[in-house]
Amino acid sequence: MENKDSVTVVVFSGELDKALAAFNIANTAASMGMKVSMFFTFWGLSVIERNKSGKGKKDTLQWMMSKMNRGGAPKLKLSKMNMMGMGKRSMKSLMKKYKMPSLEEMISLAKEQGVEFVACTTSIALMGLDESDFIDEVDRFAGASTYLGLASEGNINLFI
Amino acid sequence: MENKDSVTVVVFSGELDKALAAFNIANTAASMGMKVSMFFTFWGLSVIERNKSGKGKKDTLQWMMSKMNRGGAPKLKLSKMNMMGMGKRSMKSLMKKYKMPSLEEMISLAKEQGVEFVACTTSIALMGLDESDFIDEVDRFAGASTYLGLASEGNINLFI
Amino acid sequence: MENKDSVTVVVFSGELDKALAAFNIANTAASMGMKVSMFFTFWGLSVIERNKSGKGKKDTLQWMMSKMNRGGAPKLKLSKMNMMGMGKRSMKSLMKKYKMPSLEEMISLAKEQGVEFVACTTSIALMGLDESDFIDEVDRFAGASTYLGLASEGNINLFI
């Protein structure tokens, strides 16, 4: 049954600006009464990673990958103009000035509004991560078939 | 009422190649009789910025952001292979050779064909810009809820 | 006639991680019985380029572009963390460890499952390539109107 008011967002990118765009669309859609699911995959997993040090016993390669890709919403960078943090700080400062929510606040707001967070199991293995590396807000761990099932329910399906 | 022949394109990126792809799809869809809306947000705002110097009184941070992100269609770079302009010049030269329209011509063509240009108000504030910074072809300034309303009308909704 | 089980993927990017995401979605959709079309354009053409040296008589500019953009699935890089091949080798090694198919295997699997490969004629000219530069798996060479016709058939239409 197609529900026109159903939205999915694949969050592939792990950059602050793209994550802000994804959550702005998701939260606005949810506030309009649409059903919204976000599917975090590849670098996008870093948006919903716990902000902790990468400890634990891992295969050397996985450890390396998880070090390289140390995530968590507060650590994301801009896709451009990051300039060693200067562009990012400018943007965060302007967001505060205009009383826009931060990414962390947007994540909380999404959950309050019932946005579903799905973390891609295939990417989690590939990135050398496991389920304990993610924030509690994740609703389920699943693969591409789950995503496609959700996407087939509506007509707003974005890859960011 | 869903109209299958309705297309939306979120132009998030400010690179020449992605802008060309966005306008190629938009213009082709419009020429096929589809209703097309383009929603310019974040770096994508630079595609529809006026090509002028960034003067005017602004908050220091906003002035810095607008300087960093000096836009206008003629100044966009390639997302890769730009090589200080060499890749871009090669591409522009090949486009001329094959009599493809330039980005500026594609923007004009889009307007002639009735493609709607919406500029994202949230991003405009975030980038330290204001409505006077944009080309006259912009039809309206609006936020994510306007975009979602347009997207819900059809089933071809792209994020570029 | 809208067929909800119809998927299109525009492959714009020529990076390994984005190509893997595109093929993972395409192959999963095909295995679920959905009709899937992939439209390769711009840098995404490199995913389906033959892995051979760029010989042949070409305009100087086109020769330069084809050199810069030397493609073929085995040569793609990651969009980040490529680190002169180290990140890419890590990822390929982890893919093997978890018995995930390589990109080349995913391309074969896509064809076996009836995924249609369309290569964008406009981009082919712009990149200085011709039809002989592509792998045999390409089903047809066509432009944006063909893509839009396919996209209008379903509601899962992604731009990667």
Over residues A10-27, the mean pLDDT reads: 94
User: What tens digit of pLDDT does each residue of C71-107 get?
Assistant: 677 777 777 666 556 677 777 887 888 888 999 999 9
Q: What is the mean pLDDT of chain B?
A: 85
**Is B18 near chain C, with CB under 8 Å?**
yes
Q: What is the mean pLDDT of chain C?
A: 85
Instruction: Please give the share of chain C, as a percent, with pLDDT higher than 70.
Output: 81
Instruction: Please give the share of chain B, as a percent, with pLDDT higher than 70.
Output: 81
SS (H, E, C) chain C: CCCCCEEEEEECCCCHHHHHHHHHHHHHHHHCCCEEEEEECHHHHHHHECCCCCCCCCCHHHHHHHHHCCCCHHHCCCCCCCHHHHHHHHHHHHHHHCCCCCHHHHHHHHHHCCCEEEEEHHHHHHCCCCHHHECCCCCEEECHHHHHHHHCCCCEEEEC
Cβ within 8 Å of A, C 89-148: 90-91, 93-95, 97-98, 100
Strand partners, B38: B9, B117
Which is higher by pLDDT, C127 or B46? B46
Q: Please give the pLDDT value at position C83.
A: 56
Over residues C147-159, the mean pLDDT reads: 97
Interface B:C, Cβ pairs < 8 A: 76
With a CB cutoff of 8 Å and minimum separation 6, the contacts of A4 are A154, A155, B2, B152
Q: How far apart are CA B55 and CA B58, in angstroms?
A: 8
Q: How far apart are CA B98 and CA C22, in angstroms?
A: 30
Q: Please give the pLDDT value at position B30.
A: 97
User: What tens digit of pLDDT does each residue of A54-82 get?
Assistant: 454 455 556 655 665 556 777 777 776 66
Three-class secondary structure of residue B47 per DSSP: helix
Rounded to the nearest angstrom, the minimum Cα separation between C34 and chain B is 16
User: What tens digit of pLDDT does each residue of C116-144 get?
Assistant: 999 999 999 887 788 999 999 999 999 99
Q: For residue B15, is pLDDT > 50?
A: yes
φ/ψ of residue A82, rounded to 5: -70, -35
* Total-model pTM: 0.88
With CB atoms and an 8 Å threshold, state whether A65 touches C91. Answer: yes
Measured between CA atoms, the residue of chain B closest to residue C122 is B100
User: What tens digit of pLDDT does each residue of B84-133 get?
Assistant: 566 777 778 878 888 889 999 999 999 999 999 999 999 998 877 889 99
Q: How far apart are CA B14 and CA B27, in angstroms?
A: 18
Residue that has been written with the tokens 């995404």 in this structure? C44
**Is B153 near chain C, with CB under 8 Å?**
no
Q: Please give the pLDDT value at position A1.
A: 42
Rounded to the nearest angstrom, the minimum Cα separation between C134 and chain B is 20
**Which of C12, C61, C159 lies closest to B94 in CB terms?**
C61
Q: Please give the pLDDT value at position A98.
A: 80
Which is higher by pLDDT, B149 or B77? B149
Rounded to the nearest angstrom, the minimum Cα separation between B146 and chain C is 20
Q: Please give the pLDDT value at position C1.
A: 42
